A and B are shown apart, each in its own frame.
Chain A
Amino acid sequence: MSPRKPKPPAVPAEEPLAEGLAAPAEVPPAVPPAVPAEEPLAESVAPRAEGPTFRVSRRRAGDDRAHFDEFRVAVGREDTVLDALIAIRETKDPSLVIRHSCMHGSCGTCGMRINGREALACDTKVASLRAGPITVEPVANQRLVADLATDMVDFYARFEAAGLPLVRDAEKSPGRPGPAGMLAFERLENCIECGLCLSACPIARANHDYIGPAALAAAARVVEEPRGRDLGPVRALAGEHDSVWSCRDAMECSAVCPAGVDPARAILTLRRHLAANGARRLFGRGD
């Protein structure tokens, strides 16, 4: 396995490093309470009279830098930022470029920065955001296609290097048989490859060669569940310059991860693994 060195992002991060570090901490938890079942659901049928203002980052090929366009759009009580952006595209400005696919937090295409914080637009209810204009910007540390859409090529160049399969072995409950003949249930890996961790990571902002949290979390998964694979290449990847030892434990990656991957903890696990393996090798027992 020869990891491709990621190309540096062609669109430089616009913000100084400090802004990334000063991500607002007052953003409410991403998980609003469930709707009480007895309450009649308005859905998007009865939108708020006027709706909030969305400040949407716009940038096209040839633009020197991004500017903000403001849109007011009516939203229903349960509508997400993605619902609002799609409504803006359908009713206000068809030239708005956004990525989306599954609408429920499985595909990872609608990652962006909402009021300065990385989040999936489909996973962020408008009603959960603080009052006032809602600022929407593309994720950082990735190439821009236009407006809110990024090209994930650099993300995948790093992520793929870890060689993580999409499907993991199951969480088989102890003492419970799998379906007839199956060793265990299988499930898709938690990581939805949205790139939010790479956007939130202060190290990735400062050092474009840093492999980043998602790739390291993937490497940690391979180490955790090798399925007969030679771990040498993954260890080499993690042990490289600009890899696992570059992390400074800002923990931003785990804070923004919408899928519970916890890259920060994975990086610690990987360090311990490397250290333990290094120690074994020192005494001639490593593999």
Chain B
Amino acid sequence: MSPEARAFAGDQVPPGPKPIPDEKSVPELEPADTWTLVEASAEDGDAAGVTAEPDPEANPEPAHPHVAVSSGPPHVLIIGGGGTGGALAHDLVLRGLRVTLVERGEVTSGATGRHHGLLHSGARYVTTDRAAAVECVVENKLLRRIAPGSLEENDGLFVALTDEDAEFEKQFTEACWQCALPNKRLTRDEALRLEPGLNPGLLFAIQVPDATMDAMRLPLRFFATARRNGADVRPFTEVVGITTSGRTVTGAKVRDIASGREYEIGADVVVNAAGPWVGRVAGLAGVKVGVTLSPGVLLAVAGRRCNMVVNRLHPPGDGDIVVPQRGRTILGTTSWIADDPAEPVIPTGHVETILRETSALLPGLAQAEILARWTAVRPLVTSTAGRGRGPAREIECIDHAADRKPTDGLVTIAGGKATTMRAMAEAAANTVCAKLGVDEPCRTGEVVLLPHTAWYNA
């Protein structure tokens, strides 16, 4: 095991409380002479207690789109308030840009909040998608550094139940090592000591550095930190049109859902980070984005059935993930292809499949009371999309100026997974900065995020 890998494994968790960043550890920005900060949104001090009418003056139309005018830093409009959008807002304000983010619902109300909360170690993908696995390895380590206190760092198990599972071990562990992913073989008894609820008929288990995250509160820390640093985040604001000048995107027309008022937001670059809705948003600009919508079903059952993430030791399949969340246990998932990003209907049989497969891992699940069943839609990039879980979930960042029929001023970020939200944001921010001639490095890998509670007083 390399020192790097050893530092990753669960055996270095220090005793005692984890440091939670407080107001004083707000990511320190350089002095104003090198970093121009955006003015905070005017929503604070709203005496009426009802959300302020967004002030269109706050984002004046840039004088010369796509030119970083000397009067102020360029303005980027992000469409979509999921984990990627939040991390992107955080990334761009750290690089000195002005940022407005619009989201039609509450932030994290789309695919982000609905994911199972598994911070992937990467092990799930080592045999099917090495690039995705390596990205998870990197981001898993990184999120532990920048979001301490939002994770249950209890590791995960890949459990072998059958001879077929056992035969998969060699391929699996070799692939893990090739991805610098630490792993440890546990005997049946060792595994049962850690997780007594496991199927006593298990053969052995492989321990990996999976973790549990709070699916809403960890991404919320990106939003909280971005807003504290000047990003203007506007939930309940839906994009109804993309404004253009010729073949250049100049901003968006949005509707404040609460008031029904429509107004325009001008931007030097618009980033389409709408997750499953990226195709819809791109369509508003007359641009095509190839995404395949692949929903999955998830269940929450009563009781905390395990403390570690429990996976089946086999190539990724249906119903092979069990994630503890507080006093509940999340079971996932399935995969199919849908046309519509909004609220797919749960297909007949999926709930039973998940229960059958997961209760093979933890037999107690068979009798567990189902508290919730829901779907989350994975936006897969079509250029590489095969079936729902194939080697297709990498990040794709598209500068539409490079399309066959070029459209300038619009960038789409698609693909990825919750574990890689920060990496997706970095890719998008790099593209945006290159377009705008901004030469600032990404700093989101180092800056410790504010706690999620800061979202409510930022």
Contact = CB atoms under 8 A, between A and B. Distances in A.
Contact of B327 (A10, A165, A181, A259): A259
A106 B216 contact: yes
Contacts of B151: 167
Contacts of A83: 343
Given A105-B300, A153-B456, A165 B17 contact: yes
B312 interface: no
A34 B303 CA distance: 13
A157 B457 contact: yes
A159 B453 contact: yes
Query: How would you classify the secondary structure of chain B's contact residues: helix, strand, loop or mixed?
Result: loop
A43 B351 contact: yes
Nearest to B114: A103
A106 B106 contact: no
B369 to A, nearest CB: 4
B106 A43 contact: no
B346 A43 contact: yes
B141 interface: no
B194 A179 contact: yes
A284 interface: no
A183 B307 CA distance: 13
A186 B453 CA distance: 20
A227 B217 contact: no
Interface in A245-286: 259-260
Contacts of B20: 165-166
B348 A41 contact: yes
Interface in A132-187: 143-147, 149, 151-153, 155-157, 159-160, 165-167, 170, 173, 176-183, 185-187
A188 interface: yes
Interface string B104-129: 01101100111001000000000000
Interface stretch (A19-27, A91-99, A202-210): A91-99
Interface in B330-381: 330, 342-343, 345-349, 351-352, 355, 366-374
A107 interface: yes
B308 interface: yes
A183 B11 CA distance: 9
B247 interface: no
A80 interface: yes
A55 interface: no
Interface stretch (B166-174, B256-264, B407-415): B256-264
A146 B49 CA distance: 10
Given A109-B106, A143-B49, A152 B456 contact: yes
A13 interface: no
A18 interface: no
A149 B106 contact: yes
A78 B373 contact: yes
A95 B257 contact: yes
B236 interface: yes
A167 B150 contact: yes
B215 interface: yes
B113 A33 contact: no
Contacts of B308: 179, 185
A232 B300 CA distance: 39
Given A86-B343, A101-B113, A165 B154 contact: no
Interface in B1-20: 9-13, 15-18, 20
B207 interface: yes
B419 interface: no
B236 A183 contact: no
A3 interface: no
Interface in B290-312: 298, 300, 302, 304, 307-308
A122 interface: yes
B152 A11 contact: no
B155 interface: yes
Given A159-B453, A229-B17, 6 more contacts: A90-B342, A95-B260, A100-B106, A166-B452, A182-B154, A188-B152
30 contacts: A31-B302, A33-B369, A41-B349, A43-B345, A60-B258, A61-B51, A97-B236, A99-B106, A102-B113, A103-B114, A103-B298, A103-B372, A104-B328, A107-B214, A143-B50, A146-B236, A152-B456, A156-B453, A166-B217, A167-B151, A170-B307, A181-B11, A183-B15, A186-B153, A188-B325, A190-B327, A228-B16, A228-B17, A229-B17, A259-B326
